Amino acid sequence: MFAMSCLDDLLGEEVYLFSERSVVYLAAVKFCDDVFDSEWRLAERHSYTPEQVSHIFWWVINEAWDVYCQVNANLPIAWLSIAKKALEWDHVPINFHPWALAILEHFDLERYHAAYHLPRDEYEAIARDLPIVLEGLRNYPAEKLTAPIDEDNWGYIDY
């Protein structure tokens, strides 16, 4: 999905070895909620084509593309927050699904918590959402996978 990285490179142990992390899961979830579930977006949602919805997913990922495609301390929580929203919207892009599933299946929350000493509310939110999102991704019907997100424009400045 990302020309500059390989999925296998993101599944290693390095995600647990950083000295600190800056973005928290609850902030990532709120960002996705603000983007996808704003009043105006929900009012227009019925008119969106699958390609337009996939473009929204591209936009969210592109805003922090390096967090999604490079090994860093926030990699698993970024993928968890966007995958949660994909399942809530019942819109899982075909090229997004294998990346989200693999990254989240390799995410060891207890090891992550030991490495980064998560605040209680964040740990509880991740612990609640992770199994639900994993189950949703594992059971998502292949025939329902949607239009792919753009794979060629990462880092594109869209203002």
For residue 159, name the pLDDT band (cuts at 50, 70, 90).
Answer: very low
* pLDDT at residue 155 in the model: 66
1 pLDDT higher than 80: no
pLDDT digits (tens, 9 = 90+) for 22-45: 768 999 999 999 999 999 988 998
For the chain, domain boundaries: 21-144
Distance of CA 94 to the CA centre of its chain: 14
Q: In angstroms, rounded to a whole number, what is the distance separating the alpha carbons of residues 60 and 52? A: 13
Q: In angstroms, rounded to a whole number, what is the distance separating the alpha carbons of residues 88 and 29? A: 12
* pLDDT at residue 88 in the model: 96
Through-space distance between the first and last CA atoms of the chain, rounded to whole angstroms: 23
Cα dihedral: 154, 157, 158, 159 (round 10): 170
